[in-house]
Amino acid sequence: MLEVHVLASGSDGNCTVVQLDDTAIMVDSGLSYSRTHKLMEAEGIDESMIKALLITHEHADHVNGAGPMARKLGIPIYCNPATFGSFNHGKVDYHMTQTLQGFQVDEFGVLPLPTKHDAADPNAYKITAGGKTVLIATDTGIFTFPLRKALEEADFAIVEANYDQKMLREGPYPEPLKRRIESEIGHMCNVNSAKEIKDTAVNENRKIFLGHLSKHNNTPDIARETVSRITGIKRYKLDCLEFLGDTRTLEV
């Protein structure tokens, strides 16, 4: 059985564990090791199952705990060289990846996909195991063609719904930051995420999880409402983390 554990999603930290039976891989480690350890215990994840740490990009909310995590668990970090060269990881075992070149970790087929974000060489990940496909796609201003294709193929997709346009524009952020977030190398708003989800809806069993919600410029209710209205997916079928510290384990 393929499961996805969303341990954190948003600017306070990102960490997702994809598990097939008794092996797993982690995508991003943005919380401290001790915090992540506690969340894994609470979700019933045995650390010894985790075989690799994949990094999407070097922003602190994705890599804060990466070095300690890799060392404590004795696992390698996988990411492209530009990303690896852009954050402080200390001494770790490193496996180099390239955007759009697939690789295998145990039972998991992994394909790094290009995102558009103000980072060195940011990636989303398509992960295939046990005959199912999971997409983890956050921190992107637009959906690139390979990302759209992966969203169409996914059985389970974490799709960024970072901000509500009105809340961002009327909110407390300084103008340059607002412009950065709204740009093609920023984040996805609820409406644009909804359009991507709608345009790629061919698999009626696909499950959507809304990720990386801004705590200043979005709420779970507004994100769900907007995406539901545009896609026609029922509100209760659109899951997301509800509050800081919330976690979720989902069957694919």
| Closer by beta carbon to Zn ion, 4 or else 20 | 4
Q: CA 152, 80, 110, 64 torsion: positive or negative? A: negative
Query: Does residue 59 touch Zn ion according to CB under 5 A?
Result: yes
Q: Which two tokens stand for residue 230?
A: 């545009």
Q: How far is the CB of 219 from Zn ion (least distance, A)?
A: 18
Binding mask 136-155 for Zn ion (x = CB under 5 A): ---x----------------
Query: Does residue 121 touch Zn ion according to CB under 5 A?
Result: no
Say how many C-beta atoms besides its own lie within 10 A of residue 251's C-beta: 10
Q: How far is the CB of 179 from Zn ion (least distance, A)?
A: 16
Query: Does residue 164 touch Zn ion according to CB under 5 A?
Result: no
Query: How many chain residues are in contact with Zn ion, going by CB under 5 A?
Result: 3
Range in contact with Zn ion (rule: CB under 5 A) among 36-44, 81-89, 134-142, 244-252: 134-142
Range in contact with Zn ion (rule: CB under 5 A) among 61-69, 140-148, 189-197, 235-243: 61-69
| Closer by beta carbon to Zn ion, 59 or else 224 | 59
Range in contact with Zn ion (rule: CB under 5 A) among 56-64, 84-92, 103-111, 143-151: 56-64
Range in contact with Zn ion (rule: CB under 5 A) among 34-42, 58-66, 81-89, 190-198: 58-66
Q: Which of 58, 61, 121, 196 binds Zn ion (CB under 5 A)?
A: 61
| Closer by beta carbon to Zn ion, 41 or else 184 | 184
| Closer by beta carbon to Zn ion, 67 or else 122 | 122
Residue pair 153/176 in contact by the 8 Å Cβ criterion = no
| Closer by beta carbon to Zn ion, 3 or else 61 | 61
Which DSSP string do the residues of the chain spell out, in sequence order? -EEEEEEE-STT--EEEEEETTEEEEE---S-HHHHHHHHHHTT--GGGEEEEE-S---HHHHTTHHHHHHHHT--EEE-HHHHTTS---S--EEE--TT--EEETTEEEEEEE--SSSSS-EEEEEEETTEEEEEE-S-SS--HHHHHHHHH-SEEEEE--B-HHHHHHSSS-HHHHHHHHSTTS--BHHHHHHHHHHT---TT-EEEEE---TTT--HHHHHHHHHHHH---GGG-EE--STT--EEEE-
Q: Which residues bind Zn ion (CB under 5 A)?
A: 59, 61, 139
